[in-house]
Amino acid sequence: MMNMAEQILPAAEMERTGGKGEPVIRLENVYKTYDLGEIQVQALRGVSLEVMAGEFVAVMGPSGSGKSTVMNILGCLDRPTKGRYFLDGVDVSGMSKDELARIRNKKLGFVFQQFNLLSRTSALENVELPTVYAGIKPEERTRRAMESLRRVGLADRAGHHPSQLSGGQQQRVAIARGLVNQPAILLADEPTGNLDSRTSIEIMEILQTLNEEQGLTIVLVTHEPDIAQFTKRNLEFRDGKLKRDRLVEERLNAREVLKAMPTAEEEAAEDAGAAGGAGTGAG
């Protein structure tokens, strides 16, 4: 699973873009310094990168290497200390908080490690949330949210509250929320960090489908190389710098991997069989 060829940057660039089009994301020599009074933490030290439309990028690197920091900047939740960030061709590095809020609402979708769904609020309403701030009319909001839930295969759970959903389902609701305003990019900081391996692959299957069938640009952070293997391009950070940028070879297809894996029910049935029970598979 881990054997992949490394390629140097310019070649990767050519292959990805075919040498044409505007990048959706362009960071130009971005620095981020946290001023803690006595000490200054340099979380990013001169990062430059481009992501084109339709890419599926995994950001990797050891803990503290600046992955979340760069994601926060890409997500317009934070501003670079130095350098410039062009999102969809627009320089957002000097924008006000309100302008950034509007950009986040219209152009970006977020998926978090902790899911961050509103508790005691139905899946549908959670998904609707970004449309509320976009000033969309209620009927249209519900229509879009349902459509979005359908895309992650959870239309039948629209009325469920997060506490009534499994972790994987909650993360799918979060993805649906990220998609509802038809963003230019979906950003996910360790979306599978809190999920078991099978559920992680299920999430990757959804992301792969969104990327391949609908051309959604996705940037995700992950620690796990096998998760990164489902994406098209890996960026490796170290000490606040982009150290490696390579295309993924022998990309894994999540649907096929899942097919090869035993399902939870099958595992349960096997266990039951092994224990000598009379059970012949549930449901």
Partner 1 sequence: MDFMNTFRLALRALARNKMRSALTMLGIVIGVGAVIAVVSIGQGAQYIVQQGIQAMGTNAVFIAAGSNRAGGVRQGYGGVKTLTVDDMNAILAEIPLIKQAAPALTSRQQVVYGDQNWNTAITGTTPNYFDIRTWPVQAGSVFSNEEVDLAANVCVIGTTVARILFGTDDPIGKTMRIGNLPFRVDGVLESKGQNVNGQDQDDVIFAPYTTVQRKISGITWLQFIAASAVSQEASVAAVAPITSLLRERHRIRAGSDDDFMIRTQADIADLQNQTQSTMTMLLGGIASVSLVVGGIGIMNIMLVSVTERTREIGVRMAVGATEKDVRMQFLVEAVTLSMMGGAIGIILGLIGSMLIANLLQWPTLISGKAVVAAVIFSTLVGVIFGYYPAHKAAQLDPIEALRYE
Size of the residue set binding partner 1 (CB under 8 A): 26
Q: CB under 5 to 8 A by kind: which of Mg ion, partner 1, ligand ATP, none does 36 bind?
A: ligand ATP
Rounded to a whole number of angstroms, the minimum distance from the CB of residue 273 to ligand ATP is 41
Each residue 122-151 as x (binds partner 1 by CB under 8 A) or -, in order, gives: -------xx-xxxx--x-------------
C-alpha distances out from residue 157 to 125, 165, 196, 198, Å = 12, 8, 21, 20
State yes or no: residue 170 binds Mg ion (CB under 5 A).
no
Q: Given candidates 45, 82, 106, 161, which one binds partner 1 under the rule CB under 8 A?
A: 106
Burial 67-96 (b: 16+ CB within 10 A, else e): bbbbbbbbbbebbbbebebbbbeeebbebe
State yes or no: residue 85 binds partner 1 (CB under 8 A).
no
| Strand bridging mode 108-112 / 23-35 | unpaired
Residue 199's SS3 state is helix
Residue 270's SS3 state is helix
State yes or no: residue 68 binds Mg ion (CB under 5 A).
yes
State yes or no: residue 90 binds partner 1 (CB under 8 A).
no
Structure tokens at 145: 């949210």
Question: Which amino acid type is present at position 245?
Answer: D
Cβ proximity to Mg ion, 68 vs 222, nearer residue: 68
Please, which residues have CB within 8 angstroms of residue 153's CB and are 6 or more apart in sequence?
172, 206
State yes or no: residue 183 binds ligand ATP (CB under 6 A).
no
Name the residue among 111, 259, 279, 84 with its Cα closest to residue 183. 111
Rounded to a whole number of angstroms, the minimum distance from the CB of residue 244 to ligand ATP is 15
Contacts with partner 1, residue ranges (CB under 8 A): 72, 75, 77-78, 97-98, 101-102, 104-106, 110, 112, 116-118, 120, 129-130, 132-135, 138, 177, 181
